[in-house]
Amino acid sequence: MSAEIRIKELRERLNYLNYKYYVEAQPIATDYEFDMLLRELQDLEALHPEFDDPNSPTRRVGSDLTNAFRSVQHAYPMLSLSNTYSPDELHEWIDKTQREVGDEVELDCELKYDGTAISLTYENDRLVRAVTRGDGTQGDDVTENVRTIKCIPLELQAPSGLPSFEVRGEIFMTYTTFDRLNKEREEAGEQLFANPRNAAAGTLKLQQSKIVAKRNLQFTAYQLEGRDLPFASHSQSMDALRRWGFPVSSATLVSKSKEDVDNYIARWNDERNEIAMPIDGVVIKVNSYAARRALGRTSKAPKWAVAYKFKAEQALTQLQSVTFQVGRTGAITPVANLAPVHLAGTTVKRATLHNADQIEALDLRIGDMVYVEKGGEIIPKVTGVELSERPADSRPLEYITTCPECGTELVRYEGEAKHYCPNQSGCRPQILGRIIHFIRRKAMNIETLGEETVELLFDSGLINCVADIYDLRAEQLAVLPRLGEKSAANIIQSIRTSTQVPFHRVLFALGIRFVGETTAKYLAAHFRSMDAVMAATREELLETEEIGGKIADAIIDYLADEQNRTIIERLRKAGLQFETEQKSTLSESLAGLSFVISGTFADHSRDELKAMIEAHGGKNLAAVSSNTSYLLAGDKIGPSKLQKANKLGVKIISEQEFIAMIGGDNFNNETTPEQPSEETKAEPIPIQGSLF
Ligand code: IVH
């Protein structure tokens, strides 16, 4: 069989498996089978760049090249929806609509997903473009990122018979993914997303599609746009979208009765906390396209639809006390301790107060009756005070000025809302937090040690920092309560094994503020050794992909601390991996040269070019700077990159010139970019009530 035919066959099969897994949530192949087919396709594509296809299922894993988002005009404006929180207003809208187009008008009720809107353009049944809503007339081209969302068909499952059309819908994040993401960010000392909506919108605008691919974004379609569509109504269009392979919610209702609409709203208001995806209301749309045309639109919103928004669920309860938690990074979080109250399916006893500004803005006082809300967020928050119930003798709450754990005076860094305890090396929760972070599975993987044992070891004076772990002896552990010789031996063994953990995980394990798993990987790939990271200037750190000023400053601060440097030296002596393993290279012909790739190329994908550069000893950079040796320019190159290269006198070369530089196209398979890892295969979303 020719490579071309096999590639086509593999792409079709993988697209179908993806569809069964991510859209229908009915997997028909094991992960292993899927991965083997994907790998075969990746290998064939690397050998045959002439059959490159931006819609190949291999593109679902994303790339780590920097995306620049082009602004694109919408062919049909992306309007917003008029909305209401009031049943009376909704009834008025229904009455008015019925007066205008007749009371036989069918109303289509749908869930209002709380994510971010996207417009997907298909030409000849293939995805060609994905654009955000932007200002409604033009948005950002986020196609590369959207290609990584597994439930979005890159090619339709069944022919549409249309030359082109647009599918609009919502990109969102399930609560489970949101929680996991925030947990990871918290452990890495990164800023948390306030709610799944912000997380989805923020992810969609990430500059690297490879990270987007790991975030498990979801999509649901709710609108079809196009010229001469062969459908008379919205529900017909949605049925077609389902046939073509799009995820379309089945939690819809078409009815002519106001009462049915009310019941639909009441049902989903009750059940909204039981489904996997965040919803913030219901959308009621006129079903018939003819009736829609008759109703028309205003400049902002169609008159044929309205959103009924759910009120955030609220409860009133008493604020009994405020406690202050100290995190691993020393950040202080005030927590409200409340008289237990039932809210949105759970009993709430505590709520976050975020920081001192928020307490002041609310003028919170102990004994106050406060409103707690669960909006799109999982953690309840205090949103207001019932002043009519304020005790007469209450006094404003004073924010702490010293650390509740170690008594050190708190500091507030410029531009940050939180207070911090600066006593990194002497404050119990900070020390314990750092050690517990260090032993995590994704860091040094010494989880046999466990949080409780870490506390015991700390309290008995055996460990005070992460380096002390490597001085532990089995006999010291064996005498601890609940341990014994066997567990002690196991722990010592996993401590020893941890010295083989790769360099990027060691970097992550150190717990430098804002240096999460991904950032650590970039740092390790860029600098290749701890010595190089330690010697790097701020400017050099900024040249690393995905590293901005805040992260660079945090790294510099961390390394400027004498105690941290001592810990690093002790870890080096203990035998931890302080260098990135050398990748096999084809040659060193590009050693010392750095490249920025921009645009699209005729013969190779950007990933391939990138891999070729590395295979020949060169370095890939994300942005043009005075350190760039060459700008490898393809079609549709960003004008700002060109301008910058010209200004800085960076040489601009074509794909052919580049190939000539490395002595022809002898690209070896071994050096293809990273295979998709376990992490890229996301779980299908748990679907309660089978929404799709
Ligand atoms: S229809 C002309 N249907 O709500 C308006 N929108 O507040 C077409 N949304 O930008 C939108 N679920 O992002 C529609 N079932 C649904 C929706 C929905 C969520 C979002 C959408 C829109 C926003 C307006």
How close is the Cα of 81 to the center of ligand 1, in Å? Answer: 6
Residue 19 DSSP class: I
Query: CB of 268 closer than 6 A to ligand 1?
Result: no
pLDDT tens, residue by residue, 119-131: 999 999 999 999 9
Q: Is-contact 607 626, C-beta < 8 A?
A: no
pLDDT at position 676: 31
| Nearest CA, atom 17, ligand 1 | 112
Beta bridge partners of 126: 123, 155
How close is the Cα of 82 to the center of ligand 1, in Å? Answer: 10
Say yes or no to pLDDT of 534 above 90: yes
Q: List the domain boundaries for the chain.
A: 3-49, 71-309, 313-389, 444-500, 503-573, 594-673
What is the dotted CATH code of the domain comprising 444-500? 1.10.150.20
The proportion of the chain whose per-residue pLDDT surpasses 90, expressed as a percent, equals: 57
> Taking the CB of residue 345, how many other CB atoms lie within 10 A of it?
11
pLDDT at position 581: 77
Query: CB of 117 closer than 6 A to ligand 1?
Result: yes
pTM (predicted TM-score): 0.64
Q: Please tell me the distance from the alpha carbon of residue 430 to that of residue 329, in angstroms, as a whole number.
A: 6
Query: CB of 166 closer than 6 A to ligand 1?
Result: no
pLDDT at position 612: 82
pLDDT at position 27: 79
Q: Is-contact 208 546, C-beta < 8 A?
A: yes
Query: CB of 283 closer than 6 A to ligand 1?
Result: yes
Query: CB of 222 closer than 6 A to ligand 1?
Result: yes
What is the dotted CATH code of the domain comprising 71-309? 3.30.470.30
Say yes or no to pLDDT of 338 above 90: yes
Nearest CA-CA partner of 213 in 27, 45, 18: 18
pLDDT tens, residue by residue, 436-448: 999 998 899 998 8
Query: CB of 81 closer than 6 A to ligand 1?
Result: yes
Query: CB of 223 closer than 6 A to ligand 1?
Result: yes
How close is the Cα of 185 to the center of ligand 1, in Å? Answer: 29
Which range has the worst mean pLDDT, 285-299, 539-553, 562-576? 539-553
Residue with tokens 């792409």, as numbered in its chain: 11
112 is catalytic: yes
Q: Please tell me the distance from the alpha carbon of residue 398 to that of residue 162, in angstroms, as a whole number.
A: 66
DSSP 358-389: HHHHHT--TT-EEEEEESS-SS-EEEEE-GGG
Query: CB of 80 closer than 6 A to ligand 1?
Result: yes
pLDDT tens, residue by residue, 485-516: 899 999 999 999 999 999 999 999 999 988 98
Vertex 117 angle, CA 115 and 119, to 5°: 150
pLDDT at position 318: 96
| Nearest CA, atom 13, ligand 1 | 117
Q: Please tell me the distance from the alpha carbon of residue 349 to that of residue 358, in angstroms, as a whole number.
A: 19
Residue 440 DSSP class: S
Confidence class of residue 93 from pLDDT cuts 50, 70 and 90? very high
How close is the Cα of 113 to the center of ligand 1, in Å? Answer: 7
Say yes or no to pLDDT of 466 above 80: yes
DSSP 261-288: HHHHHHHHHHHGGGSSS-EEEEEEEE-B
Return the CATH class of domain 503-573.
mainly alpha
Return the CATH class of domain 594-673.
alpha beta
Beta bridge partners of 119: 131, 168
Fold classification of 313-389 is OB fold (Dihydrolipoamide Acetyltransferase, E2P) (2.40.50)
How close is the Cα of 165 to the center of ligand 1, in Å? Answer: 18
| Nearest CA, atom 18, ligand 1 | 112
Do 71-309 and 444-500 come out as alike in CATH topology? no
Q: Which residues make Cβ contacts (< 8 Å) with residue 203, sequence separation at least 6? A: 145, 173, 211, 212, 215, 217
How close is the Cα of 54 to the center of ligand 1, in Å? Answer: 28
Nearest CA-CA partner of 423 in 402, 408, 435: 408
Q: Which atom of ligand 1 is nearest to the CA of 133?
A: 10
Q: Which CATH superfamily is domain 3-49 in?
A: Helix hairpin bin (1.10.287.610)
> Taking the CB of residue 17, how many other CB atoms lie within 10 A of it?
18
Q: Which among 112, 150, 381, 644 is annotated as catalytic? A: 112
Q: Please tell me the distance from the alpha carbon of residue 338 to that of residue 332, in angstroms, as a whole number.
A: 19
